[in-house]
Amino acid sequence: MIVISTVLLGFFISLIISALIILLVTKLFGETEGFGTALLAALIGSIIYSLSFIFIGSATWAAIIAGIAWLIALSSLYSIGWIRSLLIAIVIWFIASLVSYFFPTVIGPL
């Protein structure tokens, strides 16, 4: 039971951090949607990647397919074009990479 609650806690923390990064980046690009849209975008991205990985089994191919599907989701949620959603996704990926590099060392092992 402790393992399940730890996994769920980690999932929700990462979901909130992802949503905050998405919110920050979309605000930098002039989008007006709020935290709820960013949270939905983070949740959709997580679900798309998980399902892709389950059905494909390869992390690389799952990431490619999920990335394309997430671009569609971003362009739909924020009513933006493909190029803008790609630029937003690249900046989100860059900032998320920086955060994931530093954040685990801040909180220590669970």
Spatial separation of the C-alpha atoms in residues 95 and 110, rounded to whole Å: 23
For position 107, what pLDDT does the model report?
52
Mean pLDDT of 15-29: 92
Q: Is the pLDDT of residue 48 over 80?
A: yes
Percentage of the chain lying above the pLDDT 70 cut: 90
Residue 99, CB-side half-sphere exposure with 13 Å CA sphere:
17
For position 36, what pLDDT does the model report?
93
